Amino acid sequence: MNAILSHEPLLRLLPFAGVFALMAMAEALHPRRSRSQTRWCRWPSNLGIVLLDTLLLRLVFPTAAVGVALAVEAQGGGLLPWLGLSGLAAVVLAILLLDLVIYLQHRLFHAVPLLWRLHRMHHADLDFDVTTGLRFHPLEILTSMLIKLAAVVVLGAPAVAVLLFEILLNATSLFNHANLRLPARLDRVLRRVLVTPDMHRVHHSVVPQETNSNFGFSLAVWDRLFGTYRAQPAAGHAGMTIGLAEFRDPRELRLDRMLVQPLRDANAAQIPGDGLSTPPR
């Protein structure tokens, strides 16, 4: 496990780059939906925001979650050590519980108006593809990290579990945001365990009831367990509208507008007469 932690930067970069490249190629070859905007209109901003997020995290949290996990692990603190769990059992349980925390956090960001202001930038993308999985406001990223650090401390999660979880979370976010057409039978099998693109795309619908469903990022079990699972969008995947009613102007895809979105009145950004119902908050 020490060997794994000593190669942390490479272990993060290689899966991220590999999954991103694979999903980008796969969605180009087998797209689920036609694009409403060109890649040149969206990708520079979506990739630019992840660069800003990464730099900000390194500046504010130099050691991040793995560093905190190492410190807590050295003290023997947290729920898992208290239960006497160690080794593989502690790693597996920590990954499951951290994924549950992310699910609950996601619901919280939809339920609390102030947090929704941060999170809605993720939903304001007018298309749904692999780069949407990277599109999070820097203030949301910082808030999410604080929640994750608190969870790591409370659980006493092993550092290797935290690293593996973050790698898994990044990879599944790229996968389940891909504009990828999976065979229907394969999708049905996969979504019993993992959140698939068709499952998560429902969450990016402009329809409020669909926006407030399918909150899971990695494991599909939480939505079924807590009653937030929705199998398909009412209009079908080809006919559904992606995004938010308040931010339909393609100019909202610019990086500068994305960054100030939490400070803006959403109603002022809505295009008059677009005919779309307004999602919650």
Position 271 in a domain: no
Residue 87's domain spans which residues?
Answer: 37-262
Percent of the chain with pLDDT over 90: 78
**Each residue's pLDDT tens digit, 101-160:** 999 999 999 999 999 999 999 999 999 999 999 999 999 999 999 999 999 999 999 999
* Any domain includes 278: no
Domain total of the chain? 1
Would you say residue 245 lies in a domain? yes
Residue 100 forms part of a structural domain: yes
Domain assignment of residue 279, yes or no: no
In a domain? residue 3: no
Contact assessment for residue 63 and residue 9, using Cβ atoms and an 8 Å cutoff:
no
pLDDT of 5 strictly over 80? no
> pLDDT digits over 157-214, tens only?
999 999 999 999 999 999 999 999 999 999 999 999 999 999 999 999 999 999 999 9
Does the pTM surpass 0.85? The reply is yes
Nearest CA to 92 out of 157, 166, 48, 7 is that of 157
Q: Comparing 4 with 148, which gets the higher pLDDT?
A: 148
Tell me, yes or no, whether 47 lies in a domain. yes
pLDDT at 238 (0 to 100) = 93
Average pLDDT, the chain: 90
Residue 12: pLDDT band (50, 70, 90) is confident
- Look at residue 11 and tell me if it is in a domain: no
